[in-house]
Amino acid sequence: MFHLLRGLCTLIIALPLTFLVSVLTLIDLRFGRRSEVKAQVFPRYWGRILCRLAGVRVRIEGAEHIDPNQTYIFAGNHCSQYDIFSFQGYFPHDFRWIAKKELFRLPVFGKAMHWVGYIPIDRSRGRQALKSLDEAARRIAAGSSVLIFPEGTRSADGSLQEFKAGAVLLAIKAGVPIVPLGFNGSYDVLPKGRLLPRSGEITIRIGRPVATDAFQSAEKQKLAAALHEAVANLLEDRSQAH
């Protein structure tokens, strides 16, 4: 019963907390410190609060593989919303999110995303999608580290799915190293299709950066396969199945 109430409390608080964090971010950027980097403290607390409310502990392994002054594209498996909350709250590197452009149209939340430096991307097909991909690559190359989920959506059973080449193409265009990540334990906390999270532990394992400057756009499938193998090696046995 305690775990049920805890999960319900987290669900109820998540939306007003998101609104509050968005408002505080906008106030800080407009009237306070006016620093995009310093304003990241608000989404960081957002992620930590959502983890703590649900009783989720987060561990980071392999932080020695990344340079805090280097720009990266982080690429991990995706099987839970708590991949996002744990990464946002505890990952030891400055980064921005890539999000579908529709989210930037939401009142308050969308404006906060824009002001804090998040990168919109058009997920439709055609010229506009390619244009937004090029713009995202330019922003990353200019110094904005980001997290991507190359599977494209959450895994329904927690196993690692095939990587989409479009996500890897972004890394090639940006020309920055891509860092494989393994999210372990998040599926048990909140699998796709369930509303209430369970308490537990999430371990984010950081692999060694993979250089992308030697790859051409035509080699995106080759890089996707190498990245898939690197992520799989960071996962527990159950999550390595295709």
Q: Check which CATH number belongs to the domain holding 132 and give it.
A: 3.40.1130
DSSP 148-205: E-TTSS--SSSSPPPPPHHHHHHHHHHT--EEEEEEESHHHHS-TT--S---EEEEEE
> Tens digit of pLDDT for each residue in 104-146?
999 999 999 999 999 998 877 667 777 888 889 999 999 999 9
Residue 230 to residue 205: CA distance in whole angstroms: 11
Name every residue whose Cβ is closer than 8 Å to that of residue 34 and which is 6 or more positions away in sequence: 28
Asked if the model's pLDDT at residue 239 lies above 70, the reply is no
How large is the C-alpha radius of gyration of the chain? Answer: 18
Name every residue whose Cβ is closer than 8 Å to that of residue 59 and which is 6 or more positions away in sequence: 201, 202, 203, 204
> Tens digit of pLDDT for each residue in 168-220?
888 899 999 999 999 999 999 999 999 999 999 999 999 999 999 888 888 99
- When mean pLDDT is compared across 38-47, 57-66, 129-138, the lowest value belongs to 129-138
Task: Give the residue numbers spanning the domain of 58.
Answer: 2-240
Number of domains comprising the chain: 1
